[in-house]
Structure 1
Amino acid sequence: MILDSLKNSARYYSIHPRLERAFSLIASTDWTRMEPGTHLLDGRDIFVNVMDVSLKRKPDAKLEVHDAYMDIQVLITGREEAFGWSERKDLVKPLGAFDTAKDICFYDDEPQTYYTLRPGQFTLLFPEDGHAPMVGEGDVRKIIVKVRR
């Protein structure tokens, strides 16, 4: 898991060959004008989910993991969004089988820790990261850029 300012995104290009393109698309798009939903940015290798959501209480946010994609999550509007986090290897309470079509599995474990994301920042989540997004109060617009590993 990485939490940093978008202005520092170039530091992370070397992690994966698609990250430079993904961060370039994040920086060059007016996300306040884009319709909610899924938008292909580079086929299924890089796509984005634009979401207008109401944040939830900690007990209602379940940890999730992915196999095929990394997440770059960015808060577009709203004051802040909290995330629960745990190492995937420590998750022991799955809420069902891994859904390969949706690349997701949810867990009922308690997060090890919480951290806060604000506009102008991003969190980069890897398959090793169990994460419980959308925690807090109020309504936000956020994007989740999915980058195929």
Structure 2
Amino acid sequence: MIIADLESCRRYYALHEEMEELFRYIRNHDFSCQAPGRITLLGNKLFINLDEVELKSKEEQYLEFHQRY
């Protein structure tokens, strides 16, 4: 999982040969108009799973944690 803004995404290009292509797609598309589902960029090699979720407030949601990792 990568948590970063799009301005600092260049540092992640070295992680995979398609990372630059992925971030270019993300920067240039408006996902607010996109229906949830799979967005295929390079077949099974590069794709996005776009989900629509209902977020909860801090008061409604417990912090997720794991005993072992």
Which residue in the other structure is 1:58 paired with? 62
Distance in 2 (alpha carbons) for counterparts of 1:53 and 1:2: 19
The answer for unaligned runs of 5 or more in structure 2 is none
Structure 2 residue corresponding to 1:111, chosen from 63, 66, 69: 66
Tell me which of the two structures has the higher relative contact order, counting C-alpha pairs closer than 8 angstroms and 6 or more residues apart.
1
Percent of pairs identical after alignment?
33
SS in 2 for 1:4: coil
Alignment of 1:71-86 (within 5 A): 84=64
Provide Cα deviations, 1:28-87, integer angstroms capped at 9, x if missing partner. 11111111111211111111122211135237xxxxxxxxxxxxxxxxxxxxxxxx5xxx
The alignment's C-alpha RMSD in Å is: 2.3
Alpha-carbon offset, residue 2 of structure 1:
4.0
Distance in 2 (alpha carbons) for counterparts of 1:43 and 1:2: 22
Residue-pair matches, total: 64
Which residue in the other structure is 1:142 paired with? none
Greater strand proportion: 1
Distance in 2 (alpha carbons) for counterparts of 1:33 and 1:20: 23
Alpha-carbon offset, residue 24 of structure 1:
0.8
Which residue in the other structure is 2:31 paired with? 31
Q: TM-score, normalised by structure 1?
A: 0.37
Q: TM-score, normalised by structure 2?
A: 0.72
Greater helix proportion: 2
Alpha-carbon offset, residue 14 of structure 1:
1.2
Distance in 2 (alpha carbons) for counterparts of 1:10 and 1:58: 33
Letter in 1 for 2:62: K
